[in-house]
A and B are shown apart, each in its own frame.
Chain A
Amino acid sequence: MAADATQEAFIKIWQNLEGFRNESAISTWIYRISVNTCLLHLRKPSSKKETRLTELYERATENYNTQTDQQLSKMYGCIQQLDETGKMIILMVLEGVGYEEVAEIAGITEDTLRVRIHRIKKTLSNCVQHGGI
């Protein structure tokens, strides 16, 4: 699914390149297209047969210690339980995207975003520690 979504986002970025008007950073523009493409991909029937987030970490963390592995396992499971906007926001935050850029991608004010991030971080931490949202 990730490969298909990447491809589709790539095609859309290519097709819409002429429409880019420097109103935002190119990275923001690319993130927007990618996030919007992934949104509809999540609902495709084929996505349900694909690997879920909780399984993906196993492939990426083969060489790490057990404690980190367990924490990551719980974390992926907890992210999966968040609503779609929450997932999108926290994944960008974890990847180090700045708040200003995340707010532009999500289409909400930075203040609203800060409140949401605070809540999501709290929910996620609680979930990883105690299990379940």
Chain B
Amino acid sequence: MEEFDSLQQSWNQQAVATPPPFETLLNSAEKNTRALKAKHRWTTFILSTLVVLLTWFFGYSAGFSLNRGSAGFLFMILSILLRILLEIVSYRAFNKIPVSKSFTDYTAQVTRFYARRKKIHYLFTPGILLLYITGFILLLPAFRANVSAGFYTYILVSGGLFFIVFGWIIFRQIKKELLLLDFLKNIR
């Protein structure tokens, strides 16, 4: 192992990196934690607002009669609620993985977590999207009957664009998680 001893000597000759001052690290950590919490709050706020609006519309339309339109609202609300619930459960499950475990144990637990996420992506995500799209389609006749032709076209176009953008975001997230799962599975 003479060769390695020489490598060790070279390694030891490197300049030691100066760690940042404690205050800088603390301030930066606090800033990042605040930003992360704000991001979570915003996501919850946006999704909750969407659910409240849909619920209000549902109540409004169901007040007259339980028809295709109100069923559409119900499907859309359910799909969003299901998605929020799954994300909350996943977020909590990930945070419960003890980070102070040994590298082998931690890797095994994180791998199991992402394997479960894969099942969610393959089983629940298409179901949720299908439920949302079904709800939207069921709503269309109600929109056509109650709004102007221009606004109806706007609803169709914006709804279509929403699905494309939303689908792309979900696809990217799933791809990222599947790559991470492959990476974790290859760790020995």
Check if A and B associate: yes
Within B140-185, which residues are at the interface with A (CB < 8 Å)? 176, 179-180, 183
Which of A19, A75, A108, A125: most chain B CB closer than 10 A? A125
Tell me if A85 and B14 are in contact (CB < 8 A).
no
Mark the stretch among B28-36, B43-51, B69-77, B127-135 that contacts chain A: B28-36
Say whether A43 contacts B180, CB under 8 Å: yes
The docked-state distance in angstroms from the alpha carbon of A36 to that of B102 is: 8
Q: Which residues of A contact B3 (CB under 8 A)?
A: 125, 128-129
The 8 A CB mask of A27-40 against B (1 = contact, 0 = none) is: 00100110111011
User: Which parts of A41-85 form the interface with B (CB within 8 Å)?
Assistant: 42-43, 45, 57, 60-64, 68, 71-72, 75, 83-85
Chain A residues bordering chain B, tally (CB within 8 A): 48
Q: Choose one: A39, A63, A71, A85; the contact of B6 (CB below 8 Å).
A: A71
B98 within 8 A of A: yes
* Residues of chain B with a CB closer than 8 A to A40's CB: 110, 180
Task: Check if A107 sits within 8 Å of B4, measured CB to CB.
Answer: no
Instruction: Tell me the nearest residue of chain A to B186, going by C-beta.
Output: A83
Which residues from chain B contact A75 at a C-beta distance below 8 Å?
Answer: 7, 10-11
Residues of A within 8 A of B11 (CB): 72, 75, 94
With A and B bound together, what is the CA distance between A63 and B14 in angstroms? 9
Q: Main SS of chain B's interface residues? A: helix
Across-interface contacts of A20 in B (CB, < 8 A): 100
Contact A108 B187 (CB under 8 A): no
- B104 contacts A32, C-beta separation under 8 Å: no
Known: A7-B32, A84-B187. A36 touches B103 (CB 8 A): yes
A101 CA to B187 CA, complexed, in Å: 20
Residues of A within 8 A of B15 (CB): 60-63
* B25 proximity list for chain A (CB < 8 A): 6-7, 10
- Cβ of B8 < 8 Å from any Cβ of A? yes
Complex alpha-carbon distance, A52 and B19, angstroms: 19
Is B93 part of the contact surface with A, judged by Cβ < 8 Å?
no
With A10-B25, A121-B4 as known contacts, state yes or no: A105 contacts B102, CB within 8 Å: yes
Nearest 7 interchain pairs by C-beta: A107-B102, A107-B104, A125-B3, A121-B4, A36-B106, A71-B10, A60-B14
CB<8 Å pairs between A and B, sample of 8: A6-B25, A16-B98, A42-B183, A64-B13, A71-B10, A75-B7, A94-B11, A129-B3
